[in-house]
Amino acid sequence: MAHLQSKLMLVWGLCLATICLQAQEKSERSDSTLMQEVSVNGQRQRISYRLDRQRIDASQVLTAQGGTAFDVLRAVPGVVVDADGSLSYRGSQDFLVYVDGKPSPLSGTEALQMIGAASIKDIEILTTPSAKYKTDGDVGIINIITKRSETDGWDIAVNGTASTWGTLSLDTKINYRTGHHNIYVGGQGSDIHNKSQFEQEKQTSANGTTITSYADGTRFRDFRTYIGQGGYKFNNGLHRLNIDLQGGRTINPRGGDMMYESTGSPLLDSHDRYKLTKYLFQTSIDYTWKLNERGDEINISNRFRYDRFSEEYTESNMFDLNGARQEGTRGYETEHHWDCDGAFSYKLHYRQTGTLELGYQYTTYSEHGDYRICYWDLPQQAFVWQDDLYAPFYYRRQTHSKYAQVNDRIGPFQFDAGLRIDHLLDDMDLPTITSRHKRYTELYPSAHLGYTTDKAGTLTLGYSRRTNRPGIWKLEPYITYEDYHTRIIGNPDLKSEYIHSMELSWRKMFGQTQVTATVYARRRTGVVDYIRRAYDAGVTLDSIINAGNGWRKGLEMQITTKPTKWWQLTANGDLSLHNFRAKYEGCTSTHNTTGTVGWINNFRLAKNTALQFDGHFVSGHHLTQGWERAYVYFDLAARQSLLQGKLQLGIVAHDIFHTARYHSLRTSEFLSSETWVRPTYPNIVFSVSYHFRQPSAKAKEGAISKEAEFVGKDF
């Protein structure tokens, strides 16, 4: 596999070099690197860049049709999807998700699966966010920008999806705009499925007994979201007001059905289930007052979210081949949760190109509930509650933040610098187990510098300090069940992880070709990770700990060119060096190289017909206690526009050559396990989108052709 990895890296390097040479031979003419031309029936760049972020044009990612924000991001260098369907970026799953600049009511992969790709205009990735943004998430912020109506009148969009995995989704949005007023309502329902074949061989040594076990079967993970949304916007140039309401339910089940065999035991039929159900409501209000012609402004915003009921349910079952239950557990964690964000800021335009922003933000998060578990009693043939494991809990975190941010431009240079001060109050009370109360203050600086000339292109340099603060689910010190043979426990003594993120990027246009190279480094202290150890004969326990310190240094490259008028080619990849120094018993210090390669081809076969073919390589990489092997996969997508672009039909075939594999190994003193996970085939997605616009008479008089897109410098 290492030989395959070396060959693929070599091929990728040769492809990039060839494209660069072709671009220079075509033209040495260079527009301003960050300037895009007016495009008429043309293709925009898939990824564009700004001083502190990169922006992905969702419409250019055909393989995301029928998918979500999750699928739009899969083509970004450094993005990897693991065997459980969770997304990581530059080696981390810790990132904040915003929607139109506001925190999402959900988090992580769940938040990305909430927004359909057909409703997305762009996705921004802020890897070194400025001081005015929240500091959580070690790889930064993912901001999803949804499509909006730009003209007066009616705007109606309906999108539907179905797949061979049984995925179904439908979302709609109705927007009416007149003058300064804009009203919208919408809703979405989705049932997204992930299916895979699972095999595992595991050897555990505990209490003087060594057990070798084998599991073979299927696993699934679903994301079900039913959300309604409505709102009102007002903008007259001096005052901007946005009121938004969201409410609904999310259900995220996962599980597996396995045939299980272990040393000295008969063959058993294992069924494991996990389900997280939430009933949520969120409202937000945002008001901006432009004070004068110079552009000074005051902004006040507030967001409130309430989960009136949330339940986390786990179930594990072991049956003999006659269907008689031999073992089982059922765990219930019921929660009530609310959080609130508020902000006040004042922006001063102290000169034409310079601004100073001062602000205050607060976040309060509260959660209370209890945990119960029962076990199957074989002699009684019934589930019996374990009263000694009943664990009520209360958790609250308050964050009060002050920040100052300056932005300016001097000739070819642009810069920003900021400082954020976070005051935190952390309270956790588990009456039957433990309590924790903490008060502390932390500083988070940030800075960005950009330099642009026609000849040199654009150079940007960024830095920010970040953190990963553990939530209540990582602190709970009682055992829950992932499945009957895998148990998980939190850690009330878990500390925050701190990250220093640095990034240097260069971009330049060579005629029709854009070349981007980014060098990044991320220093992590108190790395939060799981370690797995033998717990009982044939059973392992995953514990969350501060494993040690680490560096990740990497290089990302992307080249986009148009060999012909009908073919746009993007070659991208990343190569990173990861150094981890273990400071916890059971963890292993590692030094390894990982990388990804993407080869993305967009073909315009006719005016209204587009085709995309992608190839992706994910190298092997070290885990805290082992290794995961490399794999490749290929996707094919087509899109047909009808009725003058109002109707779009799409089809996507994922992993068309069935080459994706997730093969991992874990080893420690008392544990050895090897796992194989393979997606279930076929995985084909069908989508249909209908977008109807009915401009008002006033809008028709001053209409501007939507075929022309004007994009200026990106900072």
- Across the range 391-410, mean pLDDT stands at 94
Q: Is the pLDDT of residue 438 over 70?
A: yes
Contacts of 681 (CB under 8 A, 6+ apart): 655, 658
Q: Is the pLDDT of residue 34 over 90?
A: no
CA 120 – CA 134 distance, rounded (Å): 23
Q: Is the pLDDT of residue 102 over 90?
A: no
- The verdict on whether omega for the bond into residue 682 sits within 30 degrees of 0, i.e. cis, is yes
Q: Which residue is listed with tokens 């922003």?
A: 357
Count of other CB atoms within 10 angstroms of residue 179? 11
Q: What is the pLDDT of residue 1?
A: 43
Q: What is the mean pLDDT of the chain?
A: 85
More confident residue, 394 or 28: 394
Using DSSP, state whether 388 is helix, strand or coil: helix
- Across the range 40-44, mean pLDDT stands at 44
Q: Is the pLDDT of residue 336 over 70?
A: yes
Domains along the sequence of the chain with CATH: 2-709 (2.40.170.20)
Q: What is the pLDDT of residue 19?
A: 41
3-state secondary structure 104-129: CCCCHHHHHCCCEHHHEEEEEEECCC
Contact indicator for 293, 287 with CB cutoff of 8 Å: no
**Residue 448 belongs to what H/E stretch?**
strand 434-453
Q: 465-481: per-residue pLDDT in tens?
A: 999 998 877 888 877 77
Strand partners, 267: none
Choose the weakest-confidence range: 264-268, 338-342, 426-430, 537-541: 537-541
DSSP 147: P
Contact indicator for 402, 420 with CB cutoff of 8 Å: yes
CA 567 – CA 338 distance, rounded (Å): 49
The torsion angles phi and psi of 132, rounded to 5 degrees, stand at: -75, -10
pTM comes to 0.83
- Across the range 234-260, mean pLDDT stands at 94
Strand partners, 523: 500, 551
CA 119 – CA 66 distance, rounded (Å): 10
Q: Is the pLDDT of residue 706 over 80?
A: no
* Pairing mode, strands 239-262 and 268-290: antiparallel
Q: What is the pLDDT of residue 13?
A: 45
CA 652 – CA 154 distance, rounded (Å): 30
Q: The dihedral of CA 130, 132, 136, 142: what is its sign?
A: negative
Q: 3-30: per-residue pLDDT in tens?
A: 444 444 443 444 444 444 444 444 333 3
Q: What is the pLDDT of residue 454?
A: 86
Q: What percent of the chain has pLDDT over 90?
A: 54
